[in-house]
Copies of this chain bind each other. A is one copy, B any other.
Amino acid sequence: MSDADKKSGNADAELIASVWAEARSLMARLEGSSVQRLAVAAGGTSIEIERDPAAVPAAAPPVDLPISRRGSGVMPTIGAGSLGGARDAAAPTGRQAITAPLVGTFYRSSSPGSDAFVEVGDVIEAGQAVGIVEAMKLMNEVQATTSGKIVKIVAENGQAVEYEQLLMHIEPVDDE
């Protein structure tokens, strides 16, 4: 490489210090501004600042859900319609999702005609069966991961479900 790389450490140190100073000052300046991203490069130095979109005033931040499927697909997929679980799981009320542990068919009761494992309003214990997912003729119990009250049952009896598909919502009971 060239002489430029070998120039005195002093000059380098100065340069580096000044770039840091500049970066700090830029950061301060950006607070309250509408700038979302800034990149400056000059003579081998560069500063790049990207801000939290939410911190930018008036901006409606784009929400990225944990499992996102940003409509980029050329073709619709069943996944697209069935990923509600993750979104609802994030709801702030303490409500939690019970999801399918595997791919198969969801049943609310252990056999046709028998009572459902749970109904809306039931208060249950962690580990209690809330349904089954049948796969390859094997019945797999779906268990509640937490204690609480069933507030909503989303999946229907006999419905095909994929991995982690939302089945029902459970909410902690306050006075427990």
Contact string against B for A residues 22-57, beta-carbon threshold 8 Å, 1 for contact and 0 otherwise:
111011011101111111111111111111111111
Contact string against B for A residues 1-29, beta-carbon threshold 8 Å, 1 for contact and 0 otherwise:
11111111101111110111011101101
**A74 → chain B closest CB, angstroms:** 19
A36/B51 contact (C-beta < 8 A), A3-B5, A43-B45, A44-B43 known:
yes
Q: Which residues of B contact A51 (CB under 8 A)?
A: 34-36
Tell me the A residues contacting B by CB distance below 8 Å.
1-9, 11-16, 18-20, 22-24, 26-27, 29-31, 33-60
**A71 → chain B closest CB, angstroms:** 9
**A16 → chain B closest CB, angstroms:** 4
Q: Report the 6 A-B pairs with minimum CB-CB distance, sorted nearest first.
A: A34-B55, A37-B50, A19-B42, A4-B5, A39-B48, A52-B56
A20 to B46, CA, bound (A): 10
A35/B50 contact (C-beta < 8 A), A42-B45, A43-B12 known:
yes
Query: Does B5 contact A6, Cβ atoms closer than 8 Å?
Result: no
